[in-house]
Amino acid sequence: MAEALDLKAIGTRPIRPDGVEKVTGRANFGADMVLPGMIHAKVLRSPHAHARIKSVDVSRAAAMDGVYAAISGKDMPVEGANDLGINILARDKALYHGHAVAAVAARTPALAESALDLISVEYEELKPVLSIDEAIADGATLVNENMYTNGDRSQPPSNVAAMQTIERGDVEKGFAEADVVVENEYRVPTAHQGYIEPHACIASINEAGRATIWCCTQGQFDVRSMTAGVLNKKVSDIKVIPSEIGGGFGGKTTIYLEPVAVKLSELSGRPVKMVMSREEVFRATGPTSATLCRVKVGAKNDGTVTAATAWLAYEAGAFPGAPVGPGCMSVLAPYDLENLRIEGRDVLVNKPKVAAYRAPGAPQSMHAMECTMDDVARKIGMDPLDLRLKNAADEGTVAPYGPKFPAIGLVECLKAAKEHPNYLSKPADGVGRGVAVGFWFNIGMQSSAEVRIAENGAVTIMEGSPDIGGSRASMCLMASETLGVPYETINAHVGDTEATGFCNVTGGSRTTFATGLAVVQACEDIIAQCKERAALTWDLDVEQVDWQDGQAVPKPGVNADVSPLSLADIAGSAGRTGGPLLGRASLNAQGPGASFSVNWTDVEVDRDTGKVDVLAFTAVQDAGRAIHPAYVEGQMQGGAVQGLGWALNEEYIYDQNGVMENAGFLDYRVPVASDMPMIDCQIIEVPNPSHRYGVRGVGETPIVAPLAATSNAVRDALGFRINDLPLSPPRVLAALEENA
């Protein structure tokens, strides 16, 4: 898509339509909803990381004054006892510390909490499996006695739920041709998405079996289908109303509370509200995989990479499903390689079931690769950007996972980085600089949109993508551009499962791309209708009518003595020309377009305390087309800081019994304002040919490169490499002492 577009709205930075609600405290998030007659539920959680549940007795709790209902796993339908259902309420085994075992609904949250003490659970403690090394060792305790690697029952059961391999060329030959070979092993700990809003919902079910759920989620339709599955109900019996969402980063693409709340509502006849505590959020939701990655790269002295291998093991938690697949697919994706081999393992441990976290799987594996590339650059004495440029994937490169890349912007990002003043200025003495590349596939998937025109010409967009970071503004900008009407006349609404057409989750960096495309097409539907209405009004053929700058006009050369008709004109008289204007589109968007980034950071290490200070950070990323550049920068900056937090401090710290010792924001330390510098951004625009305006998703790529960029900067500052993350003061201090 080489032609320049004459854009009026896209690329501007207007105020988001939901902004005033959010700066005044009016916006309703998950925990803000109340219903008449509502009661409150709390969850009893396992005190053991691995235990057989011999019995659960909720009768004493159920009998307490003010308690309306109490349940355990055996009260849930057996048909819903899939991994999700068992994670929501344990059946015969508690699989991690914090695993939900029972729940109570009572008049107040405090009463529900105290009723939990009256539930008797008899456990038989089992040895917990707490690391990849333990899980894959011979004779390891099994997290799940019925787990066979890739379902192959000819082999004994295993904690390795799945294995996969990607191979190309001849890696042995490639390594033999190399002048230098670097091989290393890297560990990245469990980290949490750390959204500030804990999970919350209200469920109310009537006597006809129709349930309504209000909740904070990245996908109301997924809540509907998952809840239906766990409760063995029809999706058509459940309506899900998404609240505003206080962050998700992938962690709110699944469910924890909703089926329990519906069940308790059914038993009590009341609406049931559930709100997690921060401690529950840490212990029982979301984290992403701790990983063990081994990467080997061979290169010639001119920088040509001759072979690369990656061995990746990802903790899945207690149920299969670690993001090791995308970890494998992304680890070598930035490079055009002849010889490669990637092996992945999905490993069960007695820890919470992992959930998606921003570019799931990529930060960990690409941390290993990008650190290794940095060491290769040092060995051959090459600038780290030049080494990447020498091997960079570009349009036509066959990605390690199969397809040929269409137009991508990695080379453009690398070139922009090389010319960036922040890169041209050399770091001061004692300051280390580290570079890394980031990548994410992005996804398309299904979206629907409706565009409704009020009688004064005002535009209402009804769509199904929960707005997690300003997407309503992007939808309005694309509608403004397409219709040719002012941004201020447009509003966007996120509908519930019955108000809007089906829509996949806000995730995979798909919203501005896929739902945006649906909005654009729905606007084009409106334009087609407006031309018909104008043709009718003017007694012309529709082919004789054009749409220009928000008005119907006769095409050049058409002899008609008429004044242009604006959207408001046509909408105001719509009753005489066929009824209200209603545009629609639904699609399964193809060609989301990968987004590449280049990050670098300058750090200083305090050799007395081991503390790493981030002095500067620059992110360059291909956005295809930045619809609302401030929110694109916001994704880049937010992802950078999230990645810096993971690189520098964030980790789940477990004791020997598998109990997380830092389940709060005081001890699981996410970055605060005083830890961070400004995050400089440069948006590169290599348009995605699959989107009307060239959009490619930007939300996930930003978290990928900061891990290795930070590690490489610390390497540069210290003169030696620390392979594992986080680069927290204790680890850095220990490494300094070891290398003294």
Single out the residue of 399, 439, 183, 180 nearest to residue 306, CA to CA. Answer: 180
The verdict on 651 binding other proteins (CB under 8 A) reads no
Query: Least distance (Å) from other proteins to the CB of residue 204?
Result: 19
Interface positions, 449-468, toward other proteins (CB under 8 A): 468
The verdict on 361 binding other proteins (CB under 8 A) reads no
The verdict on 29 binding other proteins (CB under 8 A) reads yes
- Nearest CB to other proteins, comparing residues 280 and 481: 280
- Per CB under 8 A, the segment of 93-101, 194-202, 407-415, 423-431 that binds other proteins is 194-202
Given CA atoms 271, 98, 133, 126 in this order, what sign does their dihedral have? negative
3-class SS at 251? coil
Contact pattern for other proteins over residues 404 through 443, marking x by CB under 8 A: ----------------------------------------
- Nearest CB to other proteins, comparing residues 321 and 363: 363
Q: Are 390 and 193 in contact (CB under 8 A)?
A: no
> Among 1, 12, 19, 731, which residue interacts with other proteins (rule: CB under 8 A)?
19
> Among 424, 674, 738, 740, which residue interacts with other proteins (rule: CB under 8 A)?
674
Query: Least distance (Å) from other proteins to the CB of residue 109?
Result: 9
Alpha helices for 628-704 (secondary structure H): 629-648
Query: Least distance (Å) from other proteins to the CB of residue 473?
Result: 8
> Among 424, 428, 666, 740, which residue interacts with other proteins (rule: CB under 8 A)?
666
The verdict on 137 binding other proteins (CB under 8 A) reads no
> Among 31, 61, 238, 362, which residue interacts with other proteins (rule: CB under 8 A)?
31
Structure tokens at 515: 């739902």
Q: Distance of alpha carbon 703 from its chain centroid, rounded?
A: 10
Query: Least distance (Å) from other proteins to the CB of residue 255?
Result: 19
> Among 16, 50, 99, 296, which residue interacts with other proteins (rule: CB under 8 A)?
16
> Among 277, 544, 577, 662, which residue interacts with other proteins (rule: CB under 8 A)?
277
The verdict on 470 binding other proteins (CB under 8 A) reads yes
φ/ψ of residue 311, rounded to 5? -115, 115
> Among 278, 300, 379, 415, which residue interacts with other proteins (rule: CB under 8 A)?
278
The verdict on 65 binding other proteins (CB under 8 A) reads no
Say which residues have a Cβ less than 8 Å from residue 483's Cβ, sequence separation at least 6.
459, 490, 523, 526, 527, 550, 567
C-alpha to C-alpha distance for 299 and 484, rounded to whole angstroms:
53
- Per CB under 8 A, the segment of 296-304, 337-345, 668-676, 729-737 that binds other proteins is 668-676
The amino acid present at 510, given as its one-letter code, is R
Single out the residue of 711, 677, 60 nearest to residue 366, CA to CA. Answer: 711
Residue that the structure tokens 């307490």 belong to: 64
Query: Least distance (Å) from other proteins to the CB of residue 316?
Result: 24
If residue 622 lies in a helix (H) or strand (E), which one and from where to where?
strand 612-622
Contact pattern for other proteins over residues 174 through 193, marking x by CB under 8 A: -------------------x
> Among 1, 5, 27, 147, which residue interacts with other proteins (rule: CB under 8 A)?
27
Q: Are 659 and 94 in contact (CB under 8 A)?
A: no
Residue that the structure tokens 């193809």 belong to: 590
Bridge partners for 185 per DSSP = 294
C-alpha to C-alpha distance for 681 and 34, rounded to whole angstroms:
41
Query: Distance from first CA to last CA of the chain, Å, rounded?
Result: 55
3-class SS at 287? coil
Q: Are 312 and 327 in contact (CB under 8 A)?
A: yes
> Among 676, 689, 723, 729, which residue interacts with other proteins (rule: CB under 8 A)?
676
- Per CB under 8 A, the segment of 49-57, 283-291, 605-613, 625-633 that binds other proteins is 625-633
Interface positions, 210-269, toward other proteins (CB under 8 A): 244-249
The verdict on 173 binding other proteins (CB under 8 A) reads no
The verdict on 469 binding other proteins (CB under 8 A) reads yes
Starting at the edge strand found earlier in the chain, the sheet holding 93-94 runs 93-94, 51-57, 120-125
The verdict on 15 binding other proteins (CB under 8 A) reads yes
- Nearest CB to other proteins, comparing residues 197 and 258: 197
Residue 197: C-alpha distances to residues 276, 281, 285, 563, 740 (Å): 9, 9, 12, 53, 44
Using only C-alpha atoms, what is the Rg of the chain?
A: 27
Say which residues have a Cβ less than 8 Å from residue 336's Cβ, sequence separation at least 6.
391, 392, 393, 394, 397
- Nearest CB to other proteins, comparing residues 392 and 468: 468
Q: What is the dihedral of CA 217, 219, 225, 227, to 10 degrees?
A: 0
Query: Least distance (Å) from other proteins to the CB of residue 22?
Result: 4
C-alpha to C-alpha distance for 305 and 295, rounded to whole angstroms:
13
Query: Least distance (Å) from other proteins to the CB of residue 543?
Result: 42
- Contact positions vs other proteins (CB under 8 A): 13, 15-16, 18-20, 22-29, 31-32, 110, 193-198, 244-249, 275, 277-278, 468-470, 628, 630-631, 633-634, 637-642, 664-666, 670-676, 678-679
